[in-house]
């Protein structure tokens, strides 16, 4: 009788764990979906915002820039806060603040009010992003971690696909404010679901400590670097202001490392980097996100201004990548659970590198039928890399450091993307001017030369990104024979 009761209790416990992991995934996927959709749905409103508020693009860009600066500078601190005070509390509070931020944005009457409200909204976004990966990692057993993270990654692609489509419809039929208030119900629903279904974290009494200097130096350092990089395309790569901001930010991060080495309870436990698997995976992540913006930022110029596709077809063509990642992401995660994750992530990095090299063959005569297979390969590479790589990061840390690792992933992603956008934009702009001068010198008319310079400068930017991806491949290969620690 007693044995039957024990078996019944074990079965009940297993069923509860099985149900909980899917609840946790759905809740975090909803938050991730809203977060990634936010960027694409907001950016598509820029032309309308410039007209409504009678401002320049350089001003309206602060609607996104202020959001990115705030969220990135806070992620490391909030990841630590999740480990200390509880990820459920942090995630739920973040969703509430994010939803309230959407409401305030929809009420804004001036561009300055909108930017301030976006800063408030970004605080909530940072709270949810900082601990989403940790919540999923904790909910799924180790042998299914890759699958869980792969499914979570699919919500990122879903957000990027939905944003432009939903934003276009709302902006065409409703007011610009609708891109904010239309998402409030989903945000509040996610907040309620998090309160009800996410499990309460085990918090050790007396463990919470506040690393003030670590928080200050990391936040100021990241903020300064991000802001400096964001000004490259406006002020130029050789601007003294840009140099000062980046150097000052780097100095702050150096001080941050020195502070963390002696801190009683640091924001980032530097001992994590003693793991070769962790270090390789986290820096591979950073470099891959540095390489991605050449596609996101420059590819649309090639498609629209180069081969002359309309915006609607360009959007549909770009969506091929996101649709591929939705399908491949969970599969790559599932495969990484059944083999060494580094094998799958290496395959993804190589596939992405090959896709970039193939894109360098695109010219003004390239047909859509020749572009789609390369985009599918690119989507395959991107989605094959991230779930296994993130699984390597999260699988190499202790449970009480999952929040910190999750925040590091988010921070590397944001900073890498920002640096990559500056690099891709600078290379593309500089090389386009150079090619334009050379083509006109060869006797081509200005309009013809300008069009022909687009794929050539795109190729140059791709080459730089391909070199960055080559470093990723080398980092992945360096850990091939290492088991997860």
Q: What is the pLDDT of residues 396-436, one digit of tens each?
A: 777 667 767 777 777 788 778 777 877 887 788 888 888 88
Confidence band of 351 (pLDDT split at 50, 70, 90): very high
Average pLDDT, the chain: 80
Q: If you average pLDDT over residues 129-134, what whole number do you get?
A: 82
CB atoms closer than 10 angstroms to residue 310 = 10
- What pLDDT shows up at residue 398? 73
**Concatenated DSSP letters of 149-215:** HHHHHHHHHHHHHHHHHHHHHHHHHS-TTHHHHTTHHHHHHHHHHHHHHSPPP---TT-----HHHH
Structural element, H or E, at residue 311: helix 311-336
Confidence band of 140 (pLDDT split at 50, 70, 90): confident
- Distance between CA atoms of residues 75 and 91, nearest Å: 12
Map residue 267 onto helix, strand or coil: coil
CB of 189 closer than 8 Å to CB of 197? no
- What pLDDT shows up at residue 209? 62
| Domain 269-485 sits in CATH 1.20.1250.20 | yes
pTM across the whole model: 0.76
Topology alike, domains 1-209 and 269-485:
yes
* All structural domains of the chain with their residue ranges: 1-209, 210-264, 269-485
Non-local CB neighbours of 104 within 8 Å, separated by 6+ positions: 117, 120, 121
Backbone dihedral angles phi then psi of residue 404, each to the nearest 5 degrees: -65, -45
Quick one: which of 312, 6, 331 has its CA closest to 146?
331
- What pLDDT shows up at residue 395? 72
Whether 11 shows a pLDDT value over 70: the answer reads: no
Query: Looking at per-residue confidence, does 92 or 313 come out higher?
Result: 92
Q: What is the pLDDT of residues 451-476, one digit of tens each?
A: 888 889 889 999 999 999 999 888 88
- What pLDDT shows up at residue 210? 64
Fold observed for domain 1-209: Growth Hormone; Chain: A; (1.20.1250)
- What pLDDT shows up at residue 191? 94
Radius of gyration over every alpha carbon of the chain, rounded to an integer in angstroms: 23
Confidence band of 286 (pLDDT split at 50, 70, 90): confident
Whether 342 shows a pLDDT value over 60: the answer reads: yes
Confidence band of 116 (pLDDT split at 50, 70, 90): very high
Torsion 47-53-58-63 (CA) sign = negative
For the ranges 45-59, 159-173, 326-340, 455-469, the maximum mean pLDDT occurs at 455-469
Whether 207 shows a pLDDT value over 60: the answer reads: no
Share of the chain above pLDDT 90, in %: 16
- Distance between CA atoms of residues 145 and 136, nearest Å: 8
Share of the chain above pLDDT 70, in %: 89
CB of 72 closer than 8 Å to CB of 222? yes
CB of 455 closer than 8 Å to CB of 363? yes
Q: If you average pLDDT over residues 251-271, what whole number do you get?
A: 79
Q: What is the pLDDT of residues 55-102, one digit of tens each?
A: 776 677 788 778 887 887 787 777 777 777 778 888 999 999 999 999
CB of 36 closer than 8 Å to CB of 125? no
| Straight-line distance from the first to the last Cα atom of the chain, in angstroms, rounded to the nearest whole number | 42
- Distance between CA atoms of residues 304 and 334, nearest Å: 37
**Concatenated DSSP letters of 91-121:** HHHHHHHHHHHHHHHHH--SHHHHHHHHHHH
Confidence band of 485 (pLDDT split at 50, 70, 90): very low
Map residue 242 onto helix, strand or coil: helix
CB of 199 closer than 8 Å to CB of 88? yes
Torsion 242-244-248-250 (CA) sign = positive
- Distance between CA atoms of residues 338 and 305, nearest Å: 45
CB of 355 closer than 8 Å to CB of 318? no
- What pLDDT shows up at residue 373? 93
- What pLDDT shows up at residue 72? 78
- What pLDDT shows up at residue 147? 75
Burial 375-412 (b: 16+ CB within 10 A, else e): bbbbbbbbbbbbbbbbbbbbbbbeeebbbbbbbbbbbb
Map residue 485 onto helix, strand or coil: coil
- What pLDDT shows up at residue 2? 52
CB of 59 closer than 8 Å to CB of 111? yes
Quick one: which of 333, 389, 331, 381 has its CA closest to 356?
381
- What pLDDT shows up at residue 14? 52
Q: What is the pLDDT of residues 213-249, one digit of tens each?
A: 777 887 788 778 877 877 776 777 778 888 898 899 8
Backbone dihedral region of 97: left (phi > 0), alpha (psi from -120 to 50 degrees) or beta? alpha
Quick one: which of 258, 223, 268, 278 has its CA closest to 83?
268
- What pLDDT shows up at residue 6? 44
Non-local CB neighbours of 357 within 8 Å, separated by 6+ positions: 462, 466
- What pLDDT shows up at residue 391? 77
């Amino acid at each position: 009788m007693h044995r039957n009761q024990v078996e019944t209790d074990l079965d009940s416990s297993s069923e509860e764990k099985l149900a909980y992991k899917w609840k946790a995934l759905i809740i975090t996927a909803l938050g991730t979906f809203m977060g990634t959709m936010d960027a694409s749905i907001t950016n598509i409103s820029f032309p309308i915002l410039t007209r409504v508020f009678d401002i320049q693009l350089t001003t309206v860009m602060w609607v996104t820039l202020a959001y990115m600066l705030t969220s990135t500078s806070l992620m490391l601190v909030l990841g630590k806060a999740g480990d200390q005070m509880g990820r459920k509390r942090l995630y739920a509070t973040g969703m509430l603040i994010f939803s309230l931020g959407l409401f305030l944005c929809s009420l804004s009457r001036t561009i300055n009010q909108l930017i301030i409200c976006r800063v408030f909204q970004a605080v909530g976004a940072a709270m949810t992003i900082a601990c989403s990966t940790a919540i999923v990692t904790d909910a799924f057993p180790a042998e299914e971690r890759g699958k869980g993270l792969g499914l979570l990654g699919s919500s990122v692609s879903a957000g990027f696909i939905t944003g432009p489509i939903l934003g276009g419809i709302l902006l065409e039929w409703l007011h610009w404010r609708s891109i904010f208030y239309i998402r409030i119900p989903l945000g509040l629903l996610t907040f309620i679901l998090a309160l009800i279904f996410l499990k309460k974290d085990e918090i050790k009494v007396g463990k919470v400590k506040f690393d003030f200097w670590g928080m200050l130096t990391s936040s100021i350092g990241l903020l300064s670097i991000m802001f400096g990089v964001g000004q490259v395309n406006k002020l130029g790569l050789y601007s003294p202001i840009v140099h000062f901001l980046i150097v000052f930010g780097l100095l702050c991060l150096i001080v941050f490392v020195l502070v963390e080495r002696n801190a009683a309870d640091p924001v980032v436990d530097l001992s994590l980097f003693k793991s070769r698997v962790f270090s390789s995976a986290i820096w591979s992540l950073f470099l891959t996100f540095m390489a991605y913006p050449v596609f996101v930022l420059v590819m649309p110029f090639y498609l629209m201004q180069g081969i002359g596709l309309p915006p609607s077809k360009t959007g549909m063509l770009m969506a091929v990548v996101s649709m591929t990642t939705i399908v491949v992401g969970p599969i790559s995660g599932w495969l990484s659970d059944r083999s060494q994750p580094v094998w799958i992530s290496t395959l993804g990095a190589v596939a992405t590198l090959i896709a970039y090299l193939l894109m360098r063959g695109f010219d003004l005569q390239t047909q859509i039928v020749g572009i789609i297979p390369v985009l599918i390969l690119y989507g395959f590479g991107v989605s094959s890399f991230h779930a296994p790589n993130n699984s390597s990061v999260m699988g190499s840390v202790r449970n009480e450091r999952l929040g910190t690792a999750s925040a590091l992933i988010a921070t590397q992603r944001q900073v890498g993307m920002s640096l990559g956008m500056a690099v891709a934009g600078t290379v593309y702009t500089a090389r386009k001017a150079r090619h334009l001068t050379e083509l006109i010198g060869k006797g081509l008319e200005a309009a013809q030369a300008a069009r022909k310079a687009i794929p050539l400068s795109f190729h140059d930017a791709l080459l730089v990104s391909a070199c960055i991806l080559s470093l990723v491949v080398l980092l992945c290969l360096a850990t091939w024979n290492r088991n997860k620690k």
